[in-house]
Every structure is written in structure tokens, then in C-alpha cells.
Amino acid sequence: MTTFERVKSIIVEVLGVDPEKVTPEASFRDDLEADSLDLVELIMAFEDAFREDYGQEIEISDEDAKDIRTVGDAVAYLDKLLKERGLA
């Protein structure tokens, strides 16, 4: 499963959105209608899922979370984090 596929499955589960809407360009707020609480839930879900997948603590700082505005931003951030740790 690619990072995008994993992120997409988490978004669909947490937000209950149509999988067709979850594209790399999709904005969490504008396209997926996520509010600030939804965004916090998503960040925590990403951390939990990737921790389970890779057996390592994955943490997305509040500062970094502010820059994650689209699905593609989340995928790029997580890919970078995994590469830095030698997991991808």
C-alpha cells in the first residue's frame, strides 16, 4: 500500500467522505469539509496508523500540522518523515 493509499483510507474512515473526493489536490477544509477538530483527529489517526504500520513512534508537530492543508501535503510530509527514518 502506498502512502497515498494509506492516507486516503484513514481520511475516508475518519471523515466519512466519498473515496472519490480524496485526491492529492483535495483541501481538507474546502473540499473535504473538515473542521479544526477533524484535522486534529486526522493528525492523530495518521500518527497511530503509521506507528502501527512501522513499529516506530511517528509524531507530527503542531507547527508542521499547520502546513498540512491538502491530502498531497499529508502524503509528502509522511513520505519525507519515513525516508528520514529509513523506512521508505
Residue 13 near residue 45, CB atoms below 8 Å: yes
Determine the residue type at 30.
D
- Per the document, the length of the chain is 88
Residue 29 near residue 19, CB atoms below 8 Å: no
Active site residues: 35
